[in-house]
Copies of this chain bind each other. A is one copy, B any other.
């Protein structure tokens, strides 16, 4: 699937996106219509996306601006994540970036007082929607990081389900240096690493290395740069070989039970297990295992 094709389809938010207290942002974006080469008035495309064998690669493609998460970039990313989210051909998403900076976070030029507070609000709400979209999306989303990820860029890494990074990557929330505390990035960071690690990053703005990020839970895996793509594709390929409805059920249930008290969580997940066993792919998987053959998934 070509990136242009991706963008050409509607991006109407499915049910799991509509739990927002804010007006759905996707509606606004939909009305904008397809972007890219065919619509030069909207400028160059800020992300590119391609999909093959169930794996969608979304690439932040504005290296000259250090892949800043401008409103346009956020909407482009959102569109690429939302595109045909319910398609059985989609099994896993990888988010990576062109150039030495994964992402430097918000575009500060959008945050001066030349823009209204309403505009600033749109920037932060859109960013928050994208981060929640990753968690609410039916397929796993993997960050593949090679370089520096700062502020909302670090938030993006923290928000993905899995994060693989090269050993020369680093991570920071330096907003405090600019008088703009990384309060939205702190939502994702504070749920990924111990609070003392998060607070030192937030209060000093200093970067941590990939190894520190791994040790503290911000990353799932660190590899030498030359193995980054191979290792990420290996994990993505593994996930793409699995049953999509089973993975989707498991992902949604994981995030739902995490904040619950233990008894409520076990009540929910015991029911999920019963439902999972009853899925066509649940029975197929168990039978294939007992019969010592490879399972054939419905999707």
Whether A266 pairs with B220 at a CB distance below 8 angstroms is no
* B243:A179 contact, CB within 8 angstroms: yes
Pairwise interchain contact B183-A263, C-beta atoms closer than 8 A? no
Contact A250:B178 (CB < 8 A) given known A187-B266, A204-B239? no
Interface check A191, CB cutoff 8 A? yes
Contact in complex: B217, A128 (CB < 8 Å): no
Chain B residues contacting A266 (CB-CB under 8 Å) are 128, 131-132, 184, 187
Which residue from B243, B269, B285 sits with its C-beta under 8 Å from A187?
A: B269
For A177, the chain B residues whose CB sits under 8 A away are: 242, 285
B residues within 8 A CB of A120? Answer: 273-274, 277-278
Interface residues of A in 19-77 (CB under 8 A from B): 19-22
A254 within 8 A of B: yes
CA distance A265 to B259 in the complex (A): 13
Across the interface, name the chain B residue whose C-beta is closest to A152.
B273
Task: Report whether A254 and B190 are in contact in the complex, using a CB–CB cutoff of 8 Å.
Answer: yes
Known: A194-B192, A274-B120, A283-B112. A263 touches B179 (CB 8 A): no
Interface string of A171-198 (1 = CB under 8 A from B): 0000011111111101100111111111
Q: Most chain-B Cβ atoms within 10 A of its Cβ — which of A196, A206, A247? A: A196
Residue A219 lies at the interface, judged by CB distance under 8 Å to chain B:
yes
A→B interface (CB under 8 Å): 19-22, 108-109, 111-113, 117, 120-121, 124-125, 127-128, 131-132, 135, 140, 161-163, 176-184, 186-187, 190-200, 202-206, 215-221, 235, 238-239, 242-243, 246-247, 249-251, 253-255, 257-259, 261-263, 265-267, 269-274, 276-279, 281-290, 295, 297
